[in-house]
Structure 1
Amino acid sequence: MSRQPRSWLFVPADSEKKIAKALDSDADALVFDLEDSVALDRKAAARDILKALPARSGGAQWWVRINPLRTDEHRLDLELLGKADIHGIMLPKAESGADITELAHRTGSIPIHAIVTETAASLFGLLSYRDVKASPLAAMSWGAEDLSAALGAASNKDSAGRYTPPYVLARTLTLAGAAAAGVQPVDGVFADFRDDQGLIDEALDAARDGFTGKLAIHPAQVGPINAAFSPTPEQVAHARAIVEAFAADSSAGVLSVHGRMVDKPHLIQAQRTLARAGE
């Protein structure tokens, strides 16, 4: 697929049953997890399962979440490259652009999706991803659960189910950092996979704010996420009208489309909408 993934579905890499269910889902990207969801004594088995995955043609992107930098398991995870059909690497607990540079020295040009707000120190390094030279960085997302543990919080949400200020800050910095770096901003997980309406509301809020995808922890979350990050037919038609209007008068700074004044920022938004729709 050429467009950016809307849904990024985590699946424990040591569970062939869960992998089979994930493969049957409509997720745009599958993230085979070798980190948090796999116990230490199961990591070797998980790597063997990934090596044995059959070759395929088309379908969802396959990513692997490796273990953090400078760990023994991280080094072993990188041996999967070239032995499994992997589109890209998800790096957990990234703290700055220097971590991307360090990983890229070992992995070359393979795309990297960095989870950039899982530690306290990471909150201070979001702009540094912009300055990584010849970067294979493709996406950035945030991790409320790991961050709350790192900060010693009792919870990351208030009594109404809204993120408290430290996590709103982390989310906002991730969005801004990804935009500054020119990579895909991906919203974090919605942990309660039984709360369909809560997931829908959070995904729609993320799409409104500028995120273009969201992490998922259960196949049932894929459909609502894909829907939330897919432009509606009305949005596509309006975006197409804006693009066509500027194409017809390229010297114009401001135009009227459907009775509303639009300028170059609206054109940029329209182009992004059409890209998300696959046009």
Structure 2
Amino acid sequence: MFELGPALLFCPGDRPERFAKAAERADAVILDLEDAVAPADKAAARAHVAASDLDPARVIVRVNAPDTAEFAADLEMLDESPFRTVMVAKVEDTVPLDRFDESYSLIALCETARGVSAVARIAAHDRVVALMWGAEDLIASLGGTASRHADGRYRDAARYARSRVVIESAACGKAAIDAVHIDIDDALGLAAEAEDAAASGFVATACIHPGQVGTIRAAYAPDAETVAWARDVLAAAEGERGVFRFRGRMIDEPLLRHARAVSARGA
């Protein structure tokens, strides 16, 4: 199971001077060999990642899409490195995932129409520990021009993909990671989106700027009152059989599962 914490920070693979600071600021750093790196700088980025002395337990490496020439070179570098948590960009079927042996833990990035369509099969793959979705590449694959409305709300196609990823991940016992909020200055929008992600079952939100980390962590951490309620209702349940009344509410097993999740996040 994915257990790297709620705030995952992308860092360009060709900017090694930022690696350590990104790792310090976030719960895990995603060293990016894909979209954050220009084609001419891909080889240099691989060399920088390979030479990194970051703790492999807190590093995710995002590799290029399986249908690109860079994918094989990325895998060759990884085989010689200590990094074994890999985010595979633009996954559309399970065949490329078979290229990784059992030493790897994969995060499948479903960010195209084909990827979202195949998300159930992808989530079921043995190497996959988590799935993430991406709004901008998804809309581009649909021939669209914007993932959000003018007020910041996701368009229906993006909302559908987000829902599919969290549901199919849970169905296979895998974790789900929410997409980045690309408006760096929109702290209120990020907070609302991350709070919704945590309440909906996502275990983490990816981000693109260190300034977003604190907002995400706060959103995933339940407030003290909610944690206290969860622990109290779980304690009360120990002396009950089946459905019972607690502080004016009917409590059944689904609500107890909610309480267990809140209690775990508040630990």
Mapped partners of 1:108, 1:136: distance in 2:
7
Counterpart in the other structure of 2:88 = 91
Give yes or no for the alignment of 1:260 onto 2:253: no
Which residue identity does 1:123 align to in structure 2?
A: V
Residues 131 and 165 in structure 2, CA contact (< 8 A), matched pair in contact too? yes
Residues 34 and 64 in structure 1, CA contact (< 8 A), matched pair in contact too? yes
Q: Which runs of 5+ in 2 are unaligned?
A: none
Quote the offset at 1:138 in angstroms: 1.4
Give yes or no for the alignment of 1:23 onto 2:13: no
Give yes or no for the alignment of 1:121 onto 2:114: yes
Mapped partners of 1:61, 1:146: distance in 2:
26
Quote the offset at 1:215 in angstroms: 0.9
Counterpart in the other structure of 2:46 = 47
Counterpart in the other structure of 2:159 = 168
Counterpart in the other structure of 1:181 = 172
* Correspondences of 1:1-279 after superposition (within 5 Å): 3-25=3-25, 27-54=26-53, 56=55, 61-81=58-78, 83-96=80-93, 98-99=94-95, 102-116=96-110, 118-132=111-125, 135-249=126-240, 252-277=241-266, 279=267
Residues 34 and 65 in structure 1, CA contact (< 8 A), matched pair in contact too? yes
Residues 84 and 103 in structure 2, CA contact (< 8 A), matched pair in contact too? no
Which residue identity does 1:120 align to in structure 2?
A: A
Deviations 1:168-209 (A, max 9, x none): 111111121112121111111100111211211221222222
TM-score by length of 2: 0.91
Identity among equivalent pairs (%): 37
Mapped partners of 2:157, 2:134: distance in 1:
12
Which residue identity does 1:113 align to in structure 2?
A: I
Residues 130 and 177 in structure 2, CA contact (< 8 A), matched pair in contact too? yes
Which residue identity does 1:10 align to in structure 2?
A: F
TM-score by length of 1: 0.87
Mapped partners of 2:4, 2:18: distance in 1:
24
Which residue identity does 1:79 align to in structure 2?
A: E
Number of residue-to-residue matches in the alignment: 267
Deviations 1:254-277 (A, max 9, x none): 123333221111121222222323
Mapped partners of 2:157, 2:55: distance in 1:
42
Mapped partners of 2:199, 2:54: distance in 1:
37
Deviations 1:2-32 (A, max 9, x none): 845201111001102332331331x111100
Residues 112 and 138 in structure 2, CA contact (< 8 A), matched pair in contact too? yes
- CA RMSD after TM alignment: 2.2
Residues 50 and 78 in structure 2, CA contact (< 8 A), matched pair in contact too? no
Quote the offset at 1:157 in angstroms: 1.4
Residues 6 and 205 in structure 2, CA contact (< 8 A), matched pair in contact too? yes
Secondary structure of the 1:81 match is helix
Quote the offset at 1:106 in angstroms: 2.5
1:82/1:124 CA distance change after superposition, 3 Å:
closer
1:70/1:276 CA distance change after superposition, 3 Å:
same
